[in-house]
Amino acid sequence: MEDVLRRAEELMENKNYEEVIKILDNVQAVEAYLLKAQAYLKIGDVGKAIEELEKGVETFPYSYSILSMKAEILENEGKLEEALETINRTLEIVPFSSEYRFKKARILFKLERYEEANIELSEVLRMNPANVEARILRALCYYNVGLRLDALSEINRALNFRKDEPLLHALKGKIYFETGYYKLALSEFKIAIHYEPNNPEHYYWTAFCYYNLKMYNEALTYINLALTKEEKAIYYILKALILKELKADFSKEIEIAIKLDPSAKSIIENLFMNRNMSR
């Protein structure tokens, strides 16, 4: 059996996925079920991958590896309740696994059950305080329930371990922005740009900071940079607001914004109600 499994691993490395499935047919081993499921995923057959893992669970009901892989596939497919049920079964077998607790927290987060996710993350961080991904997720949990200061504290702890994580700086910037500290927010978004220069959101938020600081020329520079990377209605709306403050024509920006997102028309009318906006 070991020779067959070794051969299957070689075939996986060489991307011979159909052959992997073929040679492992009727091989009853945890590794065989995992490899076959991986092979099915590689050829795009998610249903067969899950079916293979379910067969594996029938044969090896206490295999946390098989259950964990099944939970991850279900999560990726958006079947979050099933994924949660499966990861709970995994944790019944290995209750002290920080890896599987983190997976559970991630699923709970996607289900918008932020308080429950936070409980799991507390346990993950108790076992491994340097887990930056867990700290990021915990910060997002706090942020989504409106606990901005708790989120900020968690972000600062995470930055002690990973100063070059743009997501942390961007989230920190949003918290400062929402609490009216635009200069502090500006600093964080510029750091995020430094580490992730191709992300248009960082440029958008930088422009928004400048707009609120009434530095309209700088705001225009950064919103134009955002638009060179991606065109979004919200970017054009901000550009129109900036141009309005600069007493420049913004009708083209409004037209493009509505074309990109017709549902934004009512928002645009409220923002620009004092100006004639012919399309």
CATH number at residue 105: 1.25.40.10
- What is the Cα–Cα distance from 276 to 266, expressed in whole angstroms? 14
* pLDDT at site 266: 86
Per-residue pLDDT tens digits for 45-54: 999 999 999 9
Into how many domains does the chain fold? Answer: 2
**Residue 38 pLDDT exceeds 60:** yes
- 89 in the same domain as 1: yes
Q: Is residue 129 part of a domain?
A: yes
272 pLDDT band, cuts 50/70/90, is confident
Q: Is residue 34 part of a domain?
A: yes
* pLDDT at site 103: 98
- 83 in the same domain as 9: yes
What is the SS3 string spanning 21-90? Answer: HHHCCCCCCHHHHHHHHHHHHHCCCHHHHHHHHHHHHHHCCCCHHHHHHHHHHHHHCCCHHHHHHHHHHH
For residue 164, what are the CA distances in angstroms to 152, 169, 193?
16, 8, 11
**Residue 271 pLDDT exceeds 90:** no
3 pLDDT band, cuts 50/70/90, is confident
- 35 in the same domain as 78: yes
- 81 in the same domain as 123: no
Q: Is residue 226 part of a domain?
A: no
**Residue 273 pLDDT exceeds 80:** no
Torsion region of 134: left, alpha or beta (phi above 0 gives left; psi -120 to 50 gives alpha): alpha
- What is the Cα–Cα distance from 87 to 72, expressed in whole angstroms? 8
The answer, as to whether pTM is greater than 0.85, is no
Q: Is residue 223 part of a domain?
A: no
The residue range of the domain holding 143 is 96-161
